[in-house]
Structure formats: structure tokens, C-alpha cells
Structure 1
Amino acid sequence: MTARRTHDAALAALLAVLMVAAILACLAPFAHAASIAGYPSQAERYRRGLVRSARYVFGMGAPIAVLAAQIHQESAWRPTARSAYASGLAQFTPDTVKTMARMHPAELGSAQPLDPRWALLALCRYDARLLGMFTGATPADRWAFALAAYNGGPGWIIRDRAKAKAQGLDHLVWFGQVEAVNAGRAPQFFRENRDYPRRIMLRHQALYLSWGPGVDVEGVQ
């Protein structure tokens, strides 16, 4: 009987090992695909949630690649990411968290920036709000204005546009026009703010075009 129990235990252990190996083999292509694409493998965990939130807010033509690229830039898809001023997938500041919860109580409920579902929907809502504040010569310019406002606050972008217009620049064009104008920010914050739209739209967006549409940046220098 002892030998029989030993044999059965060994067989059960072998089957468990084979089952784990089979599961890992099934998951491997997904991790491999993500690594080939160049985005963090954990992004796949939130892909459906982002697509759902993006289409809910922007419609079926939602610029999913830009939104995914923005999360890539903000938190590298880490829902518990924290900085000195912000937290969560979307890296919202406490003031923005409170504002979004107050403006969309039915959709967002209480403020929960570390909840991925909350953060994804709130990011889409906030981007839509910023897009509504700014016009642009092209969709790429308009999104650049909105993204810069997300990073540094819409008040600064409004002042930058006014100063650009006063200087004879095209206040509806971000790239090479308003982008070059500083209405008064400290140099380090100004550089970070100008780099933000470029990283998202010209670098990270390309990694997520397989997820859905992006914003055309052809011709942008």
C-alpha cells in the first residue's frame, strides 16, 4: 500500500507539473507578442478596459493608440504607480481626482485613482474635456494642446497660445509654433511639458496601433 501511495503521489505531482507547463505555454505567445510590440507586457491586462472606456467616451472611432500611449508615458501600466504629486495608471493629482469625481458622479462614483477601471474611464473623460477646450489646425495639433494641458494644466496652455498669437505665431498650431513659446514656466517644467505630447504621439503611439486608431502625425517634425 505504501508503494502504491508513493506511486500515486508521484503521478499527481507529474500531472501538476505538466498542467503548469501547458498553462505557461498558452500564455507565452501573449507575453512574447507584447515584448515584440515594445510595450510592457502588463498592458495587455488593461487593454480591454481601455478600449471599452475609450469607445464609451469617444465613440467607435476612439483614438485608442494615443490613449494607450498616454498611459504608457504616465505610469508604464502600473496601477499602483505613485509620484510626488500623482498616482495610479493615469497619474492624476489629488485635485484632478476630486474634480473628475465631482463632474461625473454617475459614471465614476467616489474618487478611486488606484482602481484601474476608474483611472481608465477618468483619463478618457478628462482628455475629452481638454479637447473641448482647445481648437487646432489639425487633429494632431488639437491633441497636442490637450495632452500638454493634461501634463501642465490648461491655464498655462491658454497663456502660451495668447503669447504666441501676440508674437505673430499661429496660435492654432502646436508643433513648431505654440510649442516654442513659454508664458512663464520654470525651464525644467517647460521642457517636460513640451516633451510630453511628442513622446506620446511621435514615439509611444506607434506601439499601440494594433489596438485601434491613432492620430495622424505624418509630416510633424
Structure 2
Amino acid sequence: MTRAVLAWLLGKLPPLIVCIVMAVAAQHAHAIDLCDQYRATLTREAQAVHGLAAPVPMFISQLRRESSCRAGVTAWDNGRGLAQFMDGTSLHVVRLYPELGAPDPYSPKWAIRALVRYDGWLRERVQGVNECERWAAALKGYNAGLGYVQRAQRLSPTPGQWFGVTEDINAGQSQQNFEYSRRYPRLVLFTEQPRYATWGTTLCLENQR
């Protein structure tokens, strides 16, 4: 239906009905979440890699933060697809996990499979006194690079404590990049994750900082 036809139809309705129609349409548009379409694929892949207690809400929250779950998006820095993989990261991930095949960041299935594996690879290389702190450090590694996290943890008085301690250590980033990457785990875990709490095992929400 063209806008002209829609306008003509609305013009034939009483003003009160027009208001109701527009309000319902606005509510419907607001209710649409592009991430919902990936729930089954993400749950299946996350559980295949991380077990039945996989933090699916965290993974989908990360995709929402990266791309708003838009599979075809390219960022100003050439981050690509759902997971906003840079070209170098895509190549690194397929070297780690040859079963992924050639890099295909604009494919939702490839991006999801790559994200859950790469996040797990990062998690194995950082410290954490519990799963909340460890995944938070891994998320920083995803956004900023693993090296910055490992250096910060080496400088930290309590390297396994991410929030309130190690997250505040700048291990060589520019101030602007440091501030965003410090906030990144908080944005994923505390801003985005609550909306997907019914998707599976959540992290950190029981003692939100």
C-alpha cells in the first residue's frame, strides 16, 4: 500500500478512529525486536558449544549492542554483520575454528556460530572469581582486544575481580576507546540483558552493580 493510498484511507475515517489506528501501529512497531528471529539459532549454537546452561541472554544482548540485530549492517570502522566482526577478527576466528568455513560475517548463522565460539575462546584466556566477572572480562576483550584485558589483569591487585577494580585500569588504550570499552560489558550485561532474561541463563543480574 502506497503512502498516498494510506493517507486517502485515513482521511475517510473519523478523527478518533485515526488516532486509535496510529496508536496501535506505533505500539506494534515499537514491539518488534529484530533479535527475536535469531532466538532458536542462537540457543542451539550456544548450547552446542557451552552446554545447556549457556548464557544465551548475554550472547543475544551482545548482538543487539553490536548491530541492533541487523545482519547486513557495516559500521564506519568496517565492522560487519550481526556480530560486527572486523576482517582480521573473522580470519582469526576461522583459523581457530576451521569448521566455520570461510569468513561470512553477513550471514546470520555464520556470525552467531562465530560469536559463541570466539566469546568462549576469550573467556578461557581471562581470569574471574566467578562467571559474572569472567564473562565481563571476556566481553571487554571482544570489544577492545584480549591483550588489553590480560595486561590490565596483570596490573590489577585482584585480577579476577573485574567490576569496580580491574575494569578501571587502562592498559594502553586511548582515553576515548578505554571509556567505551570499559562500559561495554556493563551495556551488554546490565542494559541489554534484562530484556532477554527469559531466553536462558543470565549473568550478573542477581547482584547488579
Q: Deviations over 1:102-130 (max 9, x none)?
A: 22222x11110000000000000000101
1:207 paired residue number: 195
2:161 paired residue number: 173
Q: Is the 8 A contact 1:101 1:109 kept in 2?
A: yes
Q: Is the 8 A contact 2:127 2:153 kept in 1?
A: no
CA–CA separation in structure 1 for the residues paired with 2:165 and 2:42: 32
Q: Deviations over 1:46-83 (max 9, x none)?
A: 11111111111111111101111110100000001111
Shift of 1:131: 0.8
Shift of 1:218: 2.8
Larger radius of gyration: 1
Q: Which amino acid aligns with 2:79?
A: A
Q: Deviations over 1:74-97 (max 9, x none)?
A: 000000111113101001110110
Partner SS state of residue 152, structure 2:
helix
Q: How does 1:10-89 map to 2 (within 5 A)?
A: 35=31, 41-83=33-75, 84-89=77-82
1:132 to 116, 124, 146: 124
Query: Under a length normalisation based on structure 1, what TM-score does the superposition of the two structures give?
Result: 0.78
Partner SS state of residue 200, structure 1:
helix
What is the percentage of aligned positions where both structures have the same residue? Answer: 35
Q: Which amino acid aligns with 1:88?
A: G
2:150 to 150, 158, 161: 158
CA–CA separation in structure 1 for the residues paired with 2:30 and 2:130: 31
2:170 paired residue number: 182
Q: Is the 8 A contact 2:61 2:192 kept in 1?
A: yes
Q: Is the 8 A contact 1:141 1:174 kept in 2?
A: yes
Shift of 1:33: 11
* Cα RMSD (Å): 1.8
Shift of 1:193: 0.4
1:105 to 95, 98, 102: 98
1:196 paired residue number: 184
1:95 paired residue number: 88
Q: Is the 8 A contact 1:135 1:172 kept in 2?
A: yes
Shift of 1:163: 1.8
Q: Is the 8 A contact 1:100 1:122 kept in 2?
A: yes
Partner SS state of residue 205, structure 2:
coil
Q: Is the 8 A contact 1:136 1:142 kept in 2?
A: yes
* More deviation, 147-156/97-106: 97-106
Q: Is the 8 A contact 1:175 1:220 kept in 2?
A: no
Q: How does 1:116-131 map to 2 (within 5 A)?
A: 116-131=108-123
CA–CA separation in structure 2 for the residues paired with 1:62 and 1:70: 14
CA–CA separation in structure 1 for the residues paired with 2:200 and 2:70: 21
Query: Under a length normalisation based on structure 2, what TM-score does the superposition of the two structures give?
Result: 0.83
* Structure 2: stretches of 5+ with no match in the other structure: 1-23
1:20 paired residue number: none
Q: Which amino acid aligns with 2:130?
A: T
Count of equivalent residues: 183
CA–CA separation in structure 2 for the residues paired with 1:146 and 1:196: 11
The structure-2 alpha-carbon separation of the partners of 1:51 and 1:218, relative to structure 1 and needing over 3 Å to count, comes to same
